[in-house]
Amino acid sequence: MKALVAIKRALDYNIVPRILHDGTDVDIAGAKMSINPLDEIALEEALRLKEKNRIQEIIVASIGTSSAQDVLRHGLAMGADRAILIQTDKQPDQLGVAKLLNALVSREKPDIVLLGKQSIDEEACQTGQMLAALMNAPQGTFASKISLDGNEISVTRETEGGTETLALTLPAVLTADLRLNEPRFVKLPNLMMAKRKLVETLSASDLGINLSVHVKRLKVSQPSIRPAGIKVGSIEELVSKLNASGVLHP
């Protein structure tokens, strides 16, 4: 059984983002980049399934420029068997990513595709769902627990009302929630050995995909500053202020 884990190179979660002066994007020049944390959780889950002999091969794949090789080598250091970089000059939108991953799925024929539920830079939370639709495969999104038994996988997923458990037949697409696991610490010798491992490089044209842009970023800005709260002396005063602000009766 084979697993494909999609991982993204993103601004390290410990770094405070800075916006470019023209407001077109986040400034990543000289900033520390790392694997998207939720994708790392997805990879950790694949590794745990392999340790239980449920999976025999794990492939990590990333989309981006040649600089994305660092997160692929991080995946190899964690324990992935192979790494594939789909090299592009610019990061495609979510549909473009899903199309590229779908083409890679057709090439590699994995039984399970895992990725984070969202990336911490764009937080679109769409790629996994789009990929499942393109694959015409069942999906288990926001997974907080995964159990694989033969050709069926049980997924406990986070919902607004609590949790629900789904039984999916393979092949399937799974997106990892923060509560799924805690990724292992990668030892320095493993990182050094991963630097010598092969990273296969493909292009969008190799996969027969035309990356048409469907979403255009108009502006990037800091969130507005939340006004300070106030204390009220009674319920009546609270209701009066809510009425005045239009919260109760807009």
Domain around 16 = 2-245
Task: Produce one character per residue of 190-209: b if its CB has 16 or more CB atoms within 10 Å, e if not.
Answer: beeebeeeebeebebeebeb
Map tokens 């491992």 to a residue. Answer: 197
In a domain, 250, yes or no: no
Domain count, the chain: 1
Mean per-residue pLDDT pooled into runs of 10, the chain (250 residues): 95 88 85 93 96 94 93 96 92 90 96 94 90 96 92 90 91 94 93 92 88 82 84 90 73
Closest CA to 137 of 110, 165, 100: 110
Q: What is the per-residue pLDDT for 250?
A: 53
Q: What is the per-residue pLDDT for 162?
A: 86
In a domain, 83, yes or no: yes
d(CA 250, CA 233): 23
Q: What is the per-residue pLDDT for 100?
A: 95
CATH number, domain with residue 130: 3.40.50.620
In a domain, 13, yes or no: yes
In a domain, 206, yes or no: yes
Angle, in degrees to the nearest 10, between helices 37-51 and 69-78: 30
Q: What is the per-residue pLDDT for 215?
A: 82
In a domain, 215, yes or no: yes
In a domain, 70, yes or no: yes
